[in-house]
Chains A and B, each alone.
Chain A
């Protein structure tokens, strides 16, 4: 059984130190919770320490000790995963998201007296599996880690189990998620089946591996089964992205989920989906570019239009963020299309850099906005009409400023990071000669400015004095509180980074 020995020896666990420590940290949290004495609250301190520490360790490791921007990517675990610099960047990114999510969620959990340790454990596990997801180089690994992420999110979305909103969102997310995973699996099965029984040429020994599928797909790009399989795989992934045809869950789930989880879902889960999609379309499915470009273009157009038009009429800001999240997924899809269909002299790296920068700016701004929303949330945080924010600038100028910067960045207002992100995407789309898509994108951005600004305006200007209630305050029940110092620092940091990235993004880009 020598080959088995070879297989076993190829498992180099040292490569996955961050994931393993996150997972064991989660286990530690759960064990501590299980052994906890009755009546003693366990805070999230351990979780913050773990996630923040890992983040620092990881960033430091890549900045100072082991920078490998030019390595072609190392395959490990018998081809299950492939480590490369972009994947490492994304791993840091997910760690940061997990840290922010845990931090933002903690006050709400404490207030609602929900179990905290389990929440942080789930967030850590979701981050670990997303980190594995972006490294996966094998459809089996992709499926398993994707499902682990999904299951974590099913629980996280319905975490406010006393609230019917949260539970309903969780159920909807689960039904859509299970449907999309069935479709994804069907696509994988089709690809696997055609590759495994390939009669022309040598059939790949491991038909689920990306590397082996790449040759097969390139040679059979006109096969209907391969195309159908690809379409099914993409449809399954579209659920993660919140893109058409699986975008219908997004507004409902974003609204119902606990706010911190919404941010996590909007940023981390979506980014994981995009990186996987990028890996797929530039790797195993690259041979199908003639088929993929029109398909994805159609998806992108529908996604952008659905998101922006849907957001126009929303008065609930959480739903608005949901619709706008769909729109952002559409913009990012344009980046993906540019990656497939780009002009030969545009390096692939620059496209990836554009996508990553967009994700970064999107995550900074989203966490800023969702952070403010979490602070201001009433007891039922699914129920956030825009009027809740009226004249916030007078009551809490700091929060209002954070919100305004975040929204401005999301809308793509010039000096902020979001503007640069959009600009980079425009540039790559232009280089790839996707003029039609560019037009749709510009239209979407213009619409987006309208609804984001309606919200900013609400926060700055006091509401119109109503005629009949002269001496009664409209919001007697609600007074915004200033967040804890830690949270305020983090929010300030996010805002600052959003502004600074708008000016100094080029030095970051050179490291790619």
Chain B
């Protein structure tokens, strides 16, 4: 490889994506979008892991990414199931309407 493209580029992109996801989680009020932003964060980490693995020639990071994808899919499935069940009761998926607890 010519080595023009360094690991920095990948890490910068990954960290920016991570921050975008985090901002989304903090700013958005729609739970669906929050779940999406959480996925963005996990994906950013995945990119960083694969970049680390590629540049150090070690497979473990890629394997960890594989597991991270699995976990993310499971989390989304459960999250959406809860969301739908909650929507049937409350008719809203906005954080400000999820206020039964703590009153």
Contact B21 A182 (CB under 8 A): yes
Once the chains are docked, how many angstroms separate the CA of A155 from the CA of B75? 10
B31-48, CB under 8 A of A: which get 1 and which 0? 100110010011011001
For residue B100, CB closer than 8 A to chain A, the reply is yes
A185-204, CB under 8 A of B: which get 1 and which 0? 11011101100110000010
Q: Which A164-201 residues sit within 8 Å CB-CB of chain B?
A: 164-165, 167-172, 174-175, 177-179, 181-183, 185-186, 188-190, 192-193, 196-197
Are A319 and B102 also in contact (CB < 8 A) when A140-B64, A164-B90 are?
yes
A-B pairs, 10 with minimum CB distance: A193-B52, A196-B56, A182-B41, A167-B86, A252-B101, A164-B89, A147-B71, A178-B38, A197-B56, A185-B45
Contact A197 B85 (CB under 8 A): no
Residue on B with the closest CB to A188? B64
Contacts of A139 in B (CB 8 A): 64
For residue B20, CB closer than 8 A to chain A, the reply is no
For residue A307, CB closer than 8 A to chain B, the reply is no
Residue on B with the closest CB to A161? B85
Which of B41, B71, B101 contacts A168, CB < 8 Å?
B101
Contacts of B74 in A (CB 8 A): 147, 151
Which of A186, A208, A251, A319 contacts B18, CB < 8 Å?
A186
Can you show 21 pairs from A to B with CB atoms below 8 A apart?
Answer: A151-B74, A155-B78, A165-B100, A167-B82, A167-B85, A169-B101, A171-B98, A174-B79, A175-B34, A178-B35, A178-B79, A182-B38, A186-B44, A192-B61, A193-B48, A193-B51, A196-B58, A196-B61, A197-B52, A203-B58, A207-B56
Contact A151 B85 (CB under 8 A): no
Contacts of B101 in A (CB 8 A): 165, 168-169, 172, 251-252, 255-256, 382
Q: Which among B38, B41, B56, B82 has the greatest number of chain A C-beta atoms within 10 A?
A: B82
Residue on A with the closest CB to B58? A196
Once the chains are docked, how many angstroms separate the CA of A208 from the CA of B49? 12
Residue on A with the closest CB to B47? A189
For residue A206, CB closer than 8 A to chain B, the reply is yes
Once the chains are docked, how many angstroms separate the CA of A115 from the CA of B65? 35
Residue on B with the closest CB to A141? B67
Taking Cβ atoms with an 8 Å cutoff, the residues of A that contact B are 139-140, 143-144, 147, 150-151, 154-155, 158, 161-162, 164-165, 167-172, 174-175, 177-179, 181-183, 185-186, 188-190, 192-193, 196-197, 203, 205-208, 251-252, 255-256, 319, 382
Contact B86 A171 (CB under 8 A): yes
Residue on A with the closest CB to B63? A140
Q: Other CB < 8 Å A-B pairs besides A186-B18, A186-B45, 6 of them?
A: A155-B78, A162-B89, A175-B34, A177-B75, A186-B44, A208-B64
Which of B18, B60, B78, B86 contacts A151, CB < 8 Å?
B78
Once the chains are docked, how many angstroms separate the CA of A251 from the CA of B55? 44
Once the chains are docked, how many angstroms separate the CA of A174 from the CA of B95? 13
Once the chains are docked, how many angstroms separate the CA of A256 from the CA of B75? 20
Are A168 and B52 also in contact (CB < 8 A) when A140-B63, A144-B67, A182-B41 are?
no
Least CB distance from B53 to A in Å reads: 7
Least CB distance from B42 to A in Å reads: 5
Once the chains are docked, how many angstroms separate the CA of A185 from the CA of B86? 28
Least CB distance from A247 to B in Å reads: 14
Contact A154 B78 (CB under 8 A): yes
Are A174 and B75 also in contact (CB < 8 A) when A167-B85, A196-B56 are?
yes
Taking Cβ atoms with an 8 Å cutoff, the residues of B that contact A are 7, 18, 21, 25, 31, 34-35, 38, 41-42, 44-45, 48-49, 51-53, 55-56, 58, 60-61, 63-64, 67-68, 71, 74-75, 78-79, 82-83, 85-86, 89-90, 98, 100-102
Contacts of A207 in B (CB 8 A): 56, 58, 60
Contacts of B64 in A (CB 8 A): 139-140, 143, 185, 188-189, 192, 208
Contact B78 A174 (CB under 8 A): yes
Contact B60 A178 (CB under 8 A): no
Contact A164 B60 (CB under 8 A): no
Contact B75 A192 (CB under 8 A): no
Least CB distance from A424 to B in Å reads: 34
Contact B25 A179 (CB under 8 A): yes
Residue on A with the closest CB to B57? A196
Are A174 and B82 also in contact (CB < 8 A) when A185-B45, A196-B61 are?
yes
Least CB distance from A311 to B in Å reads: 13
Contacts of A165 in B (CB 8 A): 100-101
Which of A168, A177, A179, A183 contacts B86, CB < 8 Å?
A168
Contacts of A189 in B (CB 8 A): 45, 48-49, 52, 61, 64
Contact B79 A171 (CB under 8 A): yes
Contact B67 A140 (CB under 8 A): yes
Once the chains are docked, how many angstroms separate the CA of A181 from the CA of B68? 10
Least CB distance from B62 to A in Å reads: 11
Contacts of B75 in A (CB 8 A): 147, 150-151, 154, 174, 177-178, 181
Once the chains are docked, how many angstroms separate the CA of A47 from the CA of B48? 43
Once the chains are docked, how many angstroms separate the CA of A165 from the CA of B50? 40
Contact B45 A164 (CB under 8 A): no
Which of A171, A197, A251 contacts B83, CB < 8 Å?
A171
Once the chains are docked, how many angstroms separate the CA of A255 from the CA of B102? 8
Once the chains are docked, how many angstroms separate the CA of A336 from the CA of B45? 28
Once the chains are docked, how many angstroms separate the CA of A206 from the CA of B56? 11
Contact A251 B102 (CB under 8 A): yes
Contacts of B63 in A (CB 8 A): 140
Least CB distance from B32 to A in Å reads: 11
